[in-house]
């Protein structure tokens, strides 16, 4: 299972639930969650290799995508 969700979709769904009080604090807590996948960073890493005219083996490209542009802590 993936942890990728849309913050906006989550907030919209919570707002549509009469049993959940969506407070400004809850909205802020959701908005402050770290990004699970940074598309721009993934594209940037792959584009950098292309601009350097460096061959990136498929397995390496897949690993860049799997990391999602997010550095592990």
Q: Say whether both 21 and 48 belong to one domain.
A: no
Output the pLDDT for position 5. Answer: 80
Q: Say whether both 42 and 23 belong to one domain.
A: no
Full-model pTM: 0.52
Q: Say whether both 67 and 50 belong to one domain.
A: yes
Q: Say whether both 47 and 70 belong to one domain.
A: yes
Q: Say whether both 14 and 46 belong to one domain.
A: no
Task: Assess whether pLDDT exceeds 50 at residue 50.
Answer: yes
Q: Say whether both 6 and 19 belong to one domain.
A: yes
**No. of helices (H) and no. of strands (E), the chain:** 4, 0
**Total count of domains within the chain:** 2
Q: Say whether both 57 and 70 belong to one domain.
A: yes
CA dist 57 and 52 (Å) reads: 14
Domain region containing 5: 1-33
Output the pLDDT for position 72. Answer: 59
Task: Assess whether pLDDT exceeds 60 at residue 31.
Answer: yes
């Amino acid at each position: 299972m993936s942890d990728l969700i849309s913050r906006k979709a989550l907030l919209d769904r919570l707002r549509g639930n009469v049993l959940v009080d969506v407070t400004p604090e809850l909205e802020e807590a959701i908005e402050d969650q770290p990004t699970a996948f940074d598309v721009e960073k993934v594209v940037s890493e792959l584009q950098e290799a292309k601009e350097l005219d460096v061959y990136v083996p498929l397995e390496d490209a897949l690993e860049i995508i799997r990391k999602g542009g997010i550095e592990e802590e």
